[in-house]
Amino acid sequence: MTSPIVRATSRRRFLQYLAASPLFTSGALSAYGNEAPSKLPDPMIWAPAGGELIDKPKDAINVFDFEPVARKNVPPAHFGYMASGLDDEVTLRANREGFLKFQLLPRRLNDVSKIDTSVELFGTKYDSPIFVSPTGGNQFFHPDGEVAVAKAARAGNHLQMLSTSSNYSVDEVTKARGAPIWFQLYASPQWEVAQALIKRADAAGCPVLVVTTDRVAGRNQETLFRLMRTDTRECSACHDRSSFAARSVRRHNYDGIDLSGVTGSGESSNLSWDTVKRMRDVTRMKIVLKGIITPMDAELAVQNGIDGILVSNHGGRGEDNGRSTIDALPEIIAAVKGRIPVIVDSGFRRGTDAVKALAIGAQAVGIGRPYLWGLGAFGEAGVERVLEIVRTETRAAMQQCGVRSVKELNPGFVRRTA
Ligand SMILES: Cc1cc2nc3c(=O)[nH]c(=O)nc-3n(C[C@H](O)[C@H](O)[C@H](O)COP(=O)(O)O)c2cc1C
Ligand SMILES: O=C(O)C(=O)c1ccccc1
């Protein structure tokens, strides 16, 4: 373990390094400006740097320790794809800063020597309320990609969601996880493609279809685009140039569909409540809408027979100048009134972050980038350690609050200050 003095020194050195780096001087990461972070340290400059990089997963003190190691290992454009928010990255920062508005109200003198951190979602029990949010292209970070993530999720019995844009197929990942996974759907603008993917997920035994609703336009991922300028590799092996829909269908081994004429990118601008109704008609899988961020849409989801909501702003990658998900959560919980489960992601890094959301009323909490840092840093072992850290912190935060199960958490354990 590094001493606090070494950490402080290395952090100062890293700040100096960043200030001098082309990242700052070229205006990349512009939202962070050339000044020291305000309230919360930026995730990119929180962990020790340089000589203090951890060299094995077990040395990590928190999940941020994996980020600079991933940054060192992963080619710049691939790192930029992961780290990027969009535009000024206001939503990205809001996700972390949002947690500061909520304070814990712990209760004392409850025996918490034995606690149960498990949750049940649609009849399946998971040992932890932390789930793996879907992220595309995990081989950009490690050759074992989503299979490594699945094995790590299996070790802690976490729910895993698999992206439409994964590098491994839904069958391969289900096998590695050793239990059914949830399939995230990017509904292609072509209904036949969406339908083919739904059938594929159904056949792979996925109990839940997670329909992503918050990516309907192109986006300006500035951090990605700037890091691409420093990354001159010929990258066609990682970036299959065929259409998004064709890639997705091929990846999940669906060979029963004619792909000629299938074009377009992942953004389906034509996605509507009608599309979701059509999905409802062709599958028995539960449908969870990912990207709901207002109580109005939460109410519409219930009215449209949706089975669950994943409150998300896509980790600050949907639209800029949005609010944090922890900010949106109380209104959404109030609108849903327990009629369907509500789960949440975006910006969760600490056990206390998770406990705040669980107390407000979410049934589970997803993480995205932290497990990708683990993957990029050390492959499967890195993901496993990231999940272990978040699990351990969540367990400790529950104990400190005086609760013995996730069900015992309620809004009385958290206070909104702003
Ligand atoms: C590199 C990357 C790729 C992602 N790919 C997808 C995707 O394919 N489908 C999707 O619904 N969400 C995707 N997301 C969003 C995540 O599911 C999740 O909402 C987000 O990462 C949570 O925020 P966090 O990274 O701050 O934990 C992606 C996020 C990242 C960082
Ligand atoms: O980058 C993303 O956030 C994302 O959702 C995505 C979309 C298409 C392919 C891979 C990931």
Ligand approaching nearest to the C-alpha of 83: 1
pLDDT of the chain along its 418 residues, tens only? Answer: 333 333 444 444 434 433 333 333 333 333 333 223 333 445 444 455 454 789 999 999 999 999 989 999 999 899 999 999 999 999 999 999 999 999 999 999 999 999 999 999 999 999 999 999 999 999 999 999 999 999 999 999 999 999 999 999 999 999 999 999 999 999 887 888 899 999 999 999 999 999 999 999 988 998 888 888 888 777 766 666 666 667 777 778 666 666 555 555 556 889 999 999 999 999 999 999 999 999 999 999 999 999 999 999 999 999 999 999 999 999 999 999 999 999 999 999 999 999 999 999 999 999 999 999 999 999 999 999 999 999 999 999 999 999 999 999 999 999 999 8
CA–centroid distance, 44 to ligand 1, in Å, is 17
Rounded to 5 degrees, φ, ψ at 308 are -170, 165
- What residues are annotated to the active site? 314
| CA 306, 310, 311, 315 torsion-angle sign | negative
Annotated binding site for FMN: 134-136, 163, 184, 212, 290, 312, 345-349, 368-369
Residues 375, 70: contact at Cβ < 8 Å? yes
ipTM surpassing 0.90: yes
Best probe residue, ligand 1, of 317, 365, 386 (max atoms within 8 Å of C-beta):
317
Q: Which protein residue's CA is at the shortest distance from atom 6 of ligand 1?
A: 135
Ligand approaching nearest to the C-alpha of 268: 2
Provide the phi-psi class of 209: left if phi over 0, else alpha when psi is between -120 and 50, else beta.
beta
Interatomic CA distance for residues 63 and 57, integer angstroms: 10
Residue 413 in tokens: 């354990």
CA–centroid distance, 125 to ligand 2, in Å, is 28
pTM: 0.90
Written as one string, the DSSP assignment of 99-153 is GGGEEE----S---SS-B--EEETTEEESSSEEE---S-GGGT-TTHHHHHHHHH
In DSSP terms, 310 is beta-bridged to 290, 343
Interatomic CA distance for residues 83 and 43, integer angstroms: 10
Protein residues with CB under 6 Å of any ligand 1 atom: 81-82, 95, 133-136, 163, 165, 184, 212, 290, 312, 314-315, 317, 345-348, 367-369
Q: Which protein residue's CA is at the shortest distance from atom 4 of ligand 1?
A: 135
